[in-house]
Amino acid sequence: MARLSYLDAGRAALAEELARDPLVWAIGEDLGRGGVFGQYRGLTETFGPDRVSDAPISEAAILGAAVGAAMTGTRPVVEMRFSDFALCAVDELVNQAAKARFMFGGQARVPLVVREPIGMWRSSAAQHSQSLESWYAHIPGLVVACPATPADNKGMLKAAIRCDDPVVYMEHKNLWGLEDEVPDDPDYLVPFGEARIVRGGGDATIVSWSAQVHVAAAAAEALAGQGIEAEVIDLRSIWPWDKERVLASVARTGRLLVTHEAVAVAGFGAEIAATVAERLGRDLKTPVRRLGAPRAPVGYAPPVEDAVRVSRDAIVAAVTEMMR
């Protein structure tokens, strides 16, 4: 084990995969200077500009070239800098990469990773703060990953690079500096579709992913002080998502709260809530609840930004109300 930041764990994962497989390569803007957040620092010097490649400022060109390269046998890792900027390349991802395997009858695959940093971070305002994971979960053919810890950022990125399907890999910007123990095994992988129990409990189930997992865990600690034991589940990937683990937990607790940073309207929390209601509706002790941001742009000013966050106190209040 080594103690690494979330950012450094992702960089270690990419470095190990570049060393392991000569077909792996990275492309994006600013990679030659280490990436906009430093997550590629030193990789161009180690592997050369052909393996860690700078690209012109055109997201559509970057992703379009990578889709073609993936279909002809390589494994590109595409850096989009911000998930907001990746919208310039949605056609290449949604209409080409996601559908190629189906449209060619399995004769072509697109082993592609699209790294899209998400979420609110340091007053980044409306065009740099979005969490758009539910958009991609809606698209058949895409895997959608949202790691919450340094260990998962290493193991899931390695799994994404080895995956034969296109993976939208969403790293939360506010987690870059988070440090924890990370396995140094070069074959350490975290499979998609396997949720993680962050904290056990029998009174209520709280389901989340990405940075919101840590807010949910803090809320569970506060609830424990009130004598309420909430089980916190980190989905890790939202497609595929671990339905069975969530259903098993809610079957025990009888209560479910889904919380995420993304806008609540049509957020992925609605899919989880609907699935649990359909499967366990009559056995629930209280209606399913979900918390998400209001349907509003993220402001630049910190107080405005805070107004759209789902806070620890909001989660505590929701679970406390459910217990009544």
How is the beta sheet containing 113-115 ordered, strand by strand? Answer: 52-54, 24-28, 75-79, 113-115, 167-169, 143-145, 237-239
3.40.50.920, 3.40.50.10420, 1.20.1530.20, 3.90.1150.200: which CATH number matches 196-323? 3.40.50.920
pLDDT, mean of each 10-residue run, the chain (324 residues)? 96 98 96 93 96 95 97 97 92 96 93 96 86 96 98 98 98 97 95 98 98 98 97 98 98 98 96 97 95 93 91 97 94
- Contact between 298 and 310 (Cβ < 8 Å): no
What is the set of active-site residues?
128
Q: Chain centroid to CA 36: how far?
A: 19
Residue 240: cis peptide before it, omega within 30 degrees of 0: yes
Biggest CA-to-CA distance, the chain: 60
**The whole model's pTM is what?**
0.95
- Contact between 239 and 136 (Cβ < 8 Å): yes
In angstroms, the first-to-last Cα distance of the chain is: 43
pLDDT of res. 127: 86
pLDDT of res. 124: 85
Tell me the per-residue pLDDT of 211-266, one tens digit each, with 9 for 90 and over. 999 999 999 999 999 999 999 999 999 999 999 999 999 999 999 999 999 999 99
Tokens of 237: 């990937």
- Contact between 76 and 66 (Cβ < 8 Å): yes
Ordered by start, the domain boundaries in the chain are 2-182, 196-323
- Torsional sign, CA 132, 246, 242, 147: positive
Please name the CATH architecture into which domain 2-182 falls: 3-Layer(aba) Sandwich (3.40)
- Contact between 215 and 315 (Cβ < 8 Å): yes
- Contact between 206 and 220 (Cβ < 8 Å): yes
pLDDT of res. 241: 98
Identical fold for domains 2-182 and 196-323, yes or no, is yes
pLDDT of res. 208: 98
pLDDT of res. 122: 84
Distance in angstroms (rounded) separating the CA atoms of residues 18 and 143: 21
Tokens of 314: 């909001």
pLDDT of res. 5: 98
